[in-house]
Amino acid sequence: MALIILGHPNIERSIANKTIIEELEKSDIEIEIRHLSQIYPDYNIDVKSEQEALLRHQNIVFQYPFYWYNMPAILKHWFDVVFEYQFAYGSKGDQLKGKNFIPSFTVGGPESEYHTLGEHHFRVHEFCKNLEQTAYFAKMNYVEPFYFHGTSVNAGYTEDDVKRKALDQATKLIEKLKRLSS
């Protein structure tokens, strides 16, 4: 089984993340989805419940849209309160040790804008160092992120283009989860 921590603040309006989640739900892998914005619309996260969910799974996927070079606020808040001292880190904080930390996100803009001379100056991978360090600090196995560019219809991408790329990402993520579970 895999745990999907869905950090999309408005999944109903999403094309990319919604497609990925729908494909995961249709797959033959067992998953538990924790849609943070639906469970905690007031951001009052039940830390113990979330920690119990983490403990039930070996593979933990963080699914979200890439917002301002980071994750949406609800997911950042979730990390702030759930990955607490003596649970995720500290002298007795090894509860997540050996679990797989799998980032999966979508990027609105084109890949051509994410390089040294591009509009965003850095490659997306460089914005993921905080994720890698979080996994390392919690003694988790960091899995290279799954992501793709061009999810914004406002930037000129068609809904069909976005869905096609999302289906491809979902397929790769499902294959990875199957390999990690075998």
Tens of pLDDT along the chain (182 residues) come to 899 999 999 999 999 999 999 999 999 999 999 999 999 999 999 999 999 999 999 999 999 999 888 899 999 999 999 999 999 999 999 999 999 999 999 988 767 676 777 676 676 678 789 999 999 999 999 999 998 888 888 878 899 999 999 999 999 999 999 999 98
- Helix 159-181 / helix 16-26 crossing angle, nearest 10 deg: 40
Burial of residue 103 (number of CB atoms within 10 Å: 0-12, 13-18, 19+): buried
Q: CA 57 to CA 14: how far, in whole Å? A: 26
Instruction: Read off the pTM.
Output: 0.94
- Which 3 state secondary structure label does DSSP give 21? helix
Position 20: which residue type?
Answer: I
CA distance 6 to 166: 15
Taking a C-beta distance cutoff of 8 angstroms, is the pair 104, 145 a contact?
Answer: yes
